[in-house]
Amino acid sequence: MTHYFIAAFVCGSLITANAQINTPAPSPSATISQGVGLAKVTIEYSRPALKGRKVLGTPLAPFGKVWRTGANKVPNLILSQDMTVEGQKVAAGTYGIFTIPTENEWTIILSKNPNQWGAYEYKESEDLLRFKVKAEKLAKPEEYFTIDITDFTPTSAKIAIRWENLQAKFSVSQDPDAQIMAEIQQKTAAPDVKPDTYFAAADYYYQNNRDLNKAYEWANKVVEKEQEYWTYYLRGKIAAKIGKCDVAIADATKGLELAKKANDGAYILNHTNVLKACGK
Contact 72, 46 (CB under 8 A): yes
pLDDT value at residue 24: 84
Beta carbons within 10 angstroms of residue 219's beta carbon: 29
Side-chain half-sphere exposure of 77, counting CA atoms within 13 A: 31
What is the pLDDT averaged over residues 251-262?
97
DSSP symbols for 16-85: HHHH------SS-EEEEEEEETTEEEEEEEE--B-TT---BTSTTB-TTS-B-SSSSBPPEEEESS-EEE
Q: Does residue 16 carry a pLDDT above 70?
A: no
pLDDT value at residue 158: 98
pLDDT band at 168, cuts 50/70/90? very high
What is the pLDDT averaged over residues 255-264?
96
For residue 66, give the amino acid letter.
Answer: V
Q: Is 178 left (phi over 0), alpha (psi -120 to 50) or beta?
A: alpha
Q: Start-end ranges of CATH 1.25.40.10 in the chain?
A: 177-277
What is the pLDDT averaged over residues 104-121?
94
Sheet holding 88-90, edge to edge: 29-36, 39-46, 76-79, 93-101, 105-111, 127-153, 156-173, 83-85, 88-90
pLDDT value at residue 274: 97
Distance, CA of 204 to CA of 216 (rounded, Å): 12
Q: Does residue 198 carry a pLDDT above 60?
A: yes
pLDDT value at residue 19: 62
What is the pLDDT averaged over residues 128-143?
96
Torsion sign across C-alpha atoms 186, 188, 190, 194: positive
Q: Does residue 203 carry a pLDDT above 60?
A: yes
> By percentage, how much of the chain surpasses pLDDT 90?
88
Contact 139, 76 (CB under 8 A): no
Q: Does residue 2 carry a pLDDT above 50?
A: no
Q: Does residue 13 carry a pLDDT above 70?
A: no
In this predicted model, what pLDDT tens digit does every residue of 46-104 receive, in sequence order?
999 999 999 999 999 999 999 999 999 999 999 999 999 999 999 999 999 999 999 99
pLDDT value at residue 9: 43
In this predicted model, what pLDDT tens digit does every residue of 18-41 receive, in sequence order?
568 888 888 889 999 999 999 999
What is the pLDDT averaged over residues 233-256?
97
Distance, CA of 208 to CA of 161 (rounded, Å): 33
pLDDT value at residue 20: 80
pLDDT band at 15, cuts 50/70/90? very low
What is the pLDDT averaged over residues 161-181?
96
Average of per-residue pLDDT values in the chain: 92
Q: pTM of the predicted model, to two decimals? A: 0.81
Classify 177-277 by CATH class: mainly alpha
